[in-house]
């Protein structure tokens, strides 16, 4: 039996479970939409827009008011071949949820065992400093982006001599 969400002590999470990193919303124009989303959600927008040539989109983030909480990602198509172009042209909206995971390959395999379909193989994402992302379509028709957690390997300059 699963434990109800309300029974998880506040401020505590299972560190081995994927963490909701962000929700992705497709928009026709980030410059036009971001200020409206920021105002509606009482968030701040810094005006930065990142171009991802592998996904043919621009993205921008509206961070939560709390550093450890999830963020809102605005996604804008770039060019006719952008995979979100048609969605944006029909008004856009909620596109995906993104979970940060310890092991991308393990999470993909787990999702496929549950009937999910790998939509896009793992690729580095500009918006996440080259960390890899993968896309799964669940049997419930939910598009899920998996983002690998940053590596915390010590850098040579921080090792003791």
pLDDT tens for residues 17-53? 889 999 999 999 999 999 999 999 999 999 999 999 9
Q: Is residue 43 part of a domain?
A: yes
Alpha helices in the chain (DSSP H): 30-41, 85-89, 104-113
The count of structural domains within the chain is: 1
pLDDT in tens, 62-103: 998 777 788 999 999 999 999 999 999 999 999 999 999 999
Q: Is residue 157 part of a domain?
A: no
Q: Is residue 52 part of a domain?
A: yes
Nearest of 64, 60, 70 to residue 26 by alpha carbon: 60
Q: What is the CATH number of the domain that holds 61?
A: 3.10.180.10
State CA 15 to chain mean position distance. 18
pLDDT at res. 16: 66
Residues in CB range of 111: below 8 A, 6 or more apart = 118, 136, 138, 144, 146
Q: Is residue 10 part of a domain?
A: no
pLDDT in tens, 1-18: 444 433 344 554 555 688
Host domain of residue 81: 18-150
Q: Is residue 96 part of a domain?
A: yes
77 vs 31, 53, 130, CA distance in Å?
13, 11, 20
């Amino acid at each position: 039996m699963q434990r109800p969400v309300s029974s998880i002590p506040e401020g505590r999470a299972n560190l081995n479970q994927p963490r909701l990193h962000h929700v992705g919303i497709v928009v026709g124009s980030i410059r036009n939409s971001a200020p409206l989303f920021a105002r509606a959600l009482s968030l701040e927008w810094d005006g930065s827009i990142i171009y991802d040539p592998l996904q043919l989109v621009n993205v921008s983030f509206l961070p939560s008011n709390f550093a450890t909480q999830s963020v809102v990602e605005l996604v804008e198509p770039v060019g006719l071949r952008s995979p979100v172009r048609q969605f944006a042209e029909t008004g856009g909206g909620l596109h995906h949820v993104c979970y940060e995971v310890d092991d991308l390959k393990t999470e993909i395999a787990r999702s496929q065992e549950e009937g999910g379909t790998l939509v896009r193989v793992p690729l580095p994402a500009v918006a996440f400093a080259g960390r890899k992302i993968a896309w799964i379509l669940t049997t419930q028709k939910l598009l899920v982006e998996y983002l690998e957690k940053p590596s915390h390997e010590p850098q040579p300059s921080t090792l003791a001599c």
